[in-house]
Amino acid sequence: MITETAYAKINLALHVRRRRDDGYHELETLFAFVDNGDVLTAQPAEADRFEVVGEFAEVLDNPFGNLVARALSALPRPQGLHVTLEKNLPVAAGLGGGSADAGALFRIVEQVHGLPDNWEERAARLGADVPACVRSEMAIGRGTGTELEPAQNDMAGMAVLLVNPRIPLPTGPVFKAWDGADRGPLPTGKASDIARNGRNDLRQPAIEICPQIADVLERLGQTEPWMAEMSGSGATCFALYESAEHRDRAARVLAEVEPNWWQMVGLLR
């Protein structure tokens, strides 16, 4: 039995530069990963088998369209795998949950059989975030997010609080609502410099569709974090703290005033 965590992905900064001729958007982002998320377990089987359990399992009403099932089909292997996905992350939440799940499956296959030489190409065909999620290491992403560069990670170990108002927010409508203005490139420097001086260009269009995001950010801001921002296209927001104690106090306070919001805590990898 092999167990892998599908680490939640957050965007410490997300700059949308332009819409490309192919319909995708040119992005510059700083990917970071939390040491918590969904959990995959796998064991050898005669044929591939996939099942979903956990809090958000029922949301995945078509498990064969899930990125884990697609990743199983995308990776050649001499033997099947019986994979169980414990779905702890909300769906359509800006955390790259499906991509993180696929990334964890790639790591499982790597342990058992090794990955093909063109694994990055196979990962990119599944989704723009999947190559970054395979390694789940802080990185700068360009293009659609598949062109990865190393980042100077001076933020590993920072305490993270993830909060979602339990409202799914598909990516497509948020990008469609973006005003098309190029507000400049990703800052340079260490990860902390990029995070402090960067922005999320999808925050405002996401708030226009899901106003509760503004409420989440306001609540997080009241906890005096190192920084707070929306992740990806929302609706999940994150706050970073310099100690786990500060984070845990903030989580308790938030749970008291907004008991219906989803929370997860962890540390930056």
Radius of gyration of the chain (CA): 18
Tokens of 6: 């599908």
Concerning whether 193 is annotated as a catalytic residue, the answer is: no
Element (H, E) at 187: none
Cβ neighbors of 211 (< 8 A, separation 6 or more) are none
Burial, 263: exposed, middle or buried (Cβ in 10 Å; 0-12, 13-18, 19+)? middle
Please check whether residue 39 is in contact with residue 88, taking contact to mean a CB–CB distance below 8 angstroms.
yes
* Amino acid occupying residue 229: E
Tokens of 172: 């497509």
Q: Which residue out of 9, 38, 101, 201 is catalytically annotated?
A: 9
Q: Which residue out of 38, 101, 129, 201 is catalytically annotated?
A: 129
Element (H, E) at 229: strand 227-230
Question: Residue 111, Cβ neighbours under 10 Å: how many?
Answer: 12
In this structure, the chain runs to a length of 269
Beta strand 25-45 with 49-53 is unpaired
Q: What angle do CA 115, 8, 158 make, to 5 degrees?
A: 115
Element (H, E) at 233: none
Q: Report phi then psi at 119, rounded to 5.
A: -60, -35
Concerning whether 129 is annotated as a catalytic residue, the answer is: yes
Give me the active site residues, please: 9, 129
